[in-house]
A and B are shown apart, each in its own frame.
Chain A
Amino acid sequence: MDDIKNVIELSHVSKDYGDFKLDDVSFSVPEGSVCGFIGQNGAGKTTTINLILDVIRRDAGEIRLFGKSIDEGSAALREDIGVVFDEMGFHEFMTGRDINIMMKNIYKNWDEQAFFDNLKRFSLPSKKKCGDFSRGMRMKLQIAVALSHNAKLLVMDEPTSGLDPIVRNEMINIFREYVVREDHTILLSSHITGDLEKIADEVVFINGGRIVLAGNKDDILERHGLLKCKKSELEKISTSLIVSSEVGDYGAQVLVNDRHAAAKLYPGMVIEPAALEEIMIYYVNRARG
């Protein structure tokens, strides 16, 4: 069996801002996968991405990209990384042509033809100032840039937030096309879990600066379940199975971390598969106490 190569590896990474701490973060993203990085606003997703890209300095731990420590020259490693932020970052007076002139003098592998093809494919005019673009067009422009230098890893921070469902769907299709190649990997941060459910192979869930859950998305979805019961039945459920519960007027809903075990233990109770969003909400509720 081939060894699974990790494109991103974080090991015990910490960053302390005083009022917020990213605490002992460890996870890895295998080559050829789409990793959904989920968490509520302020959970530490952007900080983690900035640490991975060496935009901010970490206090402790180790970060490896493509098997190499980022301390061994992160600038050279960035040649193979395409980055998409939630905001465009290019000057509003710039046109697609201007961006092409700038980028072809920065990236060694810049593919001018691919860039203009991408602009055409995403219906982006190359002569129009990007300040006049809609939010969706701005995001597509960033993706066009990220896809035009033969990047092996796409790191995206909330690329779909604030976009309408049609554009979001278009973007997810673009990501799908990108990962068709086996050596292409995506780290996609989002709090829109529906998008990640469609495309992600792996999921890393961060809350309050700590990794709560990490692993294969299908395994996580398979393992967790929403158990529905009467309020009086809540006490019967083993606490080791409960992530957290919500008690309403008509009964209780419990997120269990092993729905097959729960089904065997409590055959009379209804256990439904949980969506990523529900898993995220229940874990956040547990952290809040």
Chain B
Amino acid sequence: MKGLIIKDIMCLRKQLTVFAFILVGVLAVSVMYVLSASFGNLAEVAKELQNEKNNLSARDVKNIATEALILFMLLPAATVCDMVFVFASDAKAGFVKVAATLPVPLWKRLLAKYMTVFALFGIGAAVDIAIAGVLCALGNILTFGEFLGIIISATSAMCIYSAFVILWCVVLGSGSEQYAQLLSIASLIALFVIGYFGALKNFFMALLTDNPDSLSEILGGPIEYIKDRGGVFLIAAAAVCACTYFAALKIADRKRGVI
């Protein structure tokens, strides 16, 4: 199984190179952002936004500053691994046929794909945590705990997306990776809508009724949630990974020659 994980990581070589460049970029930009937001021009802008004319609370301003930082922190997690590349690369090479003749049972071949996902997102999360440590030392936009919550939420969301990619690639078979990618995004969105139906309903109602106070409240809600409830995302990721694994295993066993 280890050999198959190594092979998957080899397939992601190019993406990992891009990841390294993104990492350097994110580190540079986020450090500049935190310094500026704590002591520089962005800090001045934040003060101006809180005056009577703009009618924004300190919490609103913090949320705006946090949103940008969350985006920076999401980038490494989002770019470390896309299993679509692995499946597409396997399909192009005809490796599925080779894999089926290796002395590795189907359940381990499938598990290897999940292990690749966990290993790479683990690396992505570790690097993100290191960046968070640096950012905490430089400014006070977010606490380390809040950073940790964001990283766990982002990594968990990406794990859910990857689990759906694996499932759909198995369901659709070799050569349908692009459809699998679209269906995975759709599945992730569907899961999000089901999970947060009430909150989304409130959000759209606020949009339709043009109630700015309520909108600001609702926009701040998810940010707080992402920061504070990383554990919920983690549990959701574990549940989705387990469910998709068993579903994909059953399908792969019936279809044969898809993984």
CB distance B94 to A78 under 8 Å? no
CB distance B2 to A89 under 8 Å? no
How far apart are the CA atoms of A182 and B237 in the complex, in Å?
53
How far apart are the CA atoms of A91 and B97 in the complex, in Å?
12
Binary per-residue interface labels of chain B (5-16) against chain A in the complex, 1 for a CB within 8 Å, 0 otherwise = 011001101000
Contacts of B95 in A (CB 8 A): 89-91
Determine whether B4 belongs to the interface, using a CB cutoff of 8 Å to chain A: yes
CB distance B4 to A53 under 8 Å? no
Determine whether B256 belongs to the interface, using a CB cutoff of 8 Å to chain A: yes
Chain A contact surface mostly: loop
Binary per-residue interface labels of chain B (54-98) against chain A in the complex, 1 for a CB within 8 Å, 0 otherwise = 000000000000000000000000000000000001101111011
Closest to A155 in B: B101
CB distance B94 to A88 under 8 Å? yes
Determine whether A7 belongs to the interface, using a CB cutoff of 8 Å to chain B: no
Which one of A103-111, A160-168, A276-284 contacts B?
A103-111
CB distance A93 to B13 under 8 Å? yes
How many chain B residues touch A (CB < 8 A): the figure is: 28
Q: How many A-B residue pairs have CB under 8 A?
A: 80
CB distance B103 to A90 under 8 Å? no
Determine whether B139 belongs to the interface, using a CB cutoff of 8 Å to chain A: no
Query: Residue among B4, B6, B95, B101 with the most chain A CB within 10 A?
Result: B101
How far apart are the CA atoms of A83 and B100 in the complex, in Å?
10
Closest to A149 in B: B103
Query: Would you list which residues of chain A between 190 and 211 have a CB under 8 Å from chain B?
Result: none
Closest to B10 in A: A98
Which of the residues B7, B92, B106 comes within 8 Å of A102, measured between beta carbons? Answer: B7
Closest to A109 in B: B103
How far apart are the CA atoms of A130 and B13 in the complex, in Å?
16
Closest to A105 in B: B3
Determine whether B104 belongs to the interface, using a CB cutoff of 8 Å to chain A: yes
Contacts of B92 in A (CB 8 A): 91-92
Q: List 29 A-B contacts (CB under 8 A).
A: A55-B101, A55-B257, A56-B256, A56-B257, A57-B254, A75-B103, A75-B105, A75-B106, A75-B108, A77-B103, A78-B101, A78-B102, A85-B94, A87-B97, A89-B93, A89-B94, A90-B93, A90-B95, A91-B7, A91-B10, A91-B89, A91-B93, A93-B10, A102-B6, A102-B7, A102-B10, A105-B2, A105-B3, A106-B103
Known: A89-B97, A101-B6. 19 other contacts (CB 8 A): A55-B257, A57-B254, A73-B105, A78-B102, A85-B97, A87-B94, A88-B93, A89-B98, A90-B93, A91-B10, A92-B93, A94-B10, A102-B3, A102-B4, A102-B6, A102-B10, A105-B2, A106-B103, A108-B103
Q: Which residues of B contact A (CB under 8 A)?
A: 1-4, 6-7, 10-11, 13, 89-90, 92-95, 97-98, 100-106, 108, 254, 256-257
